[in-house]
């Protein structure tokens, strides 16, 4: 049952080309966002689409896969874990970020 803890699975489309960062240690990092859509009918019977954006990071071999195959608009299924972190801006404001740390990617569609 411990494998079900902090597990995220999403299917969506990349909102931008991935940002690839090669760290001094030699490790590769890929950052990108995906959009997931949910449709429903409102009280008036009109179809409404709700789009949610998710920040995703991938490390090492998974980041290499992202670099080689993913571009803006591609549909992907990802699996990973949800993480949160904070940082201080130059102005001294505290910012919070929630990301999915991706450990598996499946390319969908064409």
Going by their DSSP bridges, the two strands 28-41 and 8-14 should be labelled as antiparallel
Instruction: State how far the Cα of 26 lies from the Cα of 8, in Å rounded to an integer.
Output: 27
**Residue 2 has what pLDDT?**
62
Strand partners, 98: 84
- Find the helix or strand (DSSP H, E) in which 69 lies: helix 60-69
Percent of the chain with pLDDT over 70: 96
Q: pLDDT tens digits for 58-83? A: 999 999 999 999 999 999 999 999 99
Global pTM?
Answer: 0.84
Tokens for 63, please give them: 């980041």
- Find the helix or strand (DSSP H, E) in which 5 lies: none
Q: In angstroms, what CA-CA distances link 28 with 10, 25, 71?
A: 22, 9, 17
| pLDDT-based confidence at residue 110 (cuts at 50, 70, 90) | low
């Amino acid at each position: 049952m411990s494998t079900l803890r902090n597990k995220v699975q999403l299917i969506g489309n990349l909102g931008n080309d991935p940002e690839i960062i090669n760290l001094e240690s030699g490790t590769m990092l890929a950052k990108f966002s995906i959009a997931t859509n949910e449709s429903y009918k409102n009280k008036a019977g009109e179809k409404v689409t709700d789009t949610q954006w998710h920040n995703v990071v991938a490390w090492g071999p998974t980041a290499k896969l992202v670099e080689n195959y993913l571009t803006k608009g591609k549909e992907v299924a990802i699996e990973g874990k949800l993480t949160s972190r904070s940082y201080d801006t130059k102005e001294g404001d505290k910012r919070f970020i929630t990301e999915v740390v991706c450990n598996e990617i499946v390319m969908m569609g064409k």
